[in-house]
Amino acid sequence: MPEKKEEKTVIIYRQDPIAKKLNTRAYSVHRWDSKGRGKYRRYFPRSWIVPVEDIPEDARPLSKEQASDIASRRRAAGLKAARTARERDDAVAEDLGLLPGSRLAKDLRAGRVDEEAATAIAESIRHRHEDTDYDDLLAAGYPKEAARALKQPR
């Protein structure tokens, strides 16, 4: 009976520079990742099982720890960039007299409202809350629309 040759394989992670050199579609996926929720959820490969003989001689694949380290540094950089953008947007919102993180500030950041309209809306909101009994009517159980119709100047 002929002896069966055992094929050695290695796992190549998405962060590995070797993955860009290989035709990863030719190999079976070792692990999948997903992004999004509900109907927007998408799946993509995290790592592939590749035969050792298909790896270039001058290349060494990343270990699982190295790949995890690269992924965590990328994730941290993305979070830092998002935090910086949010802080910058909050500073612009405060300069215009908006509450940072409010729905109006988010609409301004997304470009759905321009600065002039946002300033006018913020002034209307400020007047409603500071110069009328609107908050007292809301606390008494009135719906927003009714409280806006019934509000009186203080």
Q: What is the pLDDT along the chain (154 residues), one digit of tens a residue?
A: 555 556 688 899 988 888 888 888 899 999 999 999 999 999 999 999 999 888 888 888 888 898 889 989 999 999 999 999 888 888 888 888 888 888 888 888 888 998 899 889 888 888 888 888 888 888 999 898 888 888 777 6
Task: State pTM to two decimals.
Answer: 0.54
Q: Three-state secondary structure along the chain?
A: CCCCCCCCEEEEECCCHHHHHCCHHHCEEEEEEEECCHHHCEEEEEEEEEEHHHCCCCCCCCCHHHHHHHHHHHHHHHHHHHHHHHHHHHHHHHHHCCCCCCHHHHHHHHCCCCHHHHHHHHHHHHHHHHCECHHHHHHCCCCHHHHHHHCCEC
pLDDT, position 4 = 57
Q: Is residue 25 part of a domain?
A: yes
Question: How many domains does the chain contain in total?
Answer: 1
Domain contains 117: no
Residue 91 forms part of a structural domain:
no
Q: Please tell me the predicted confidence (pLDDT) of residue 1.
A: 52
- Domain with 26 in it: 8-62
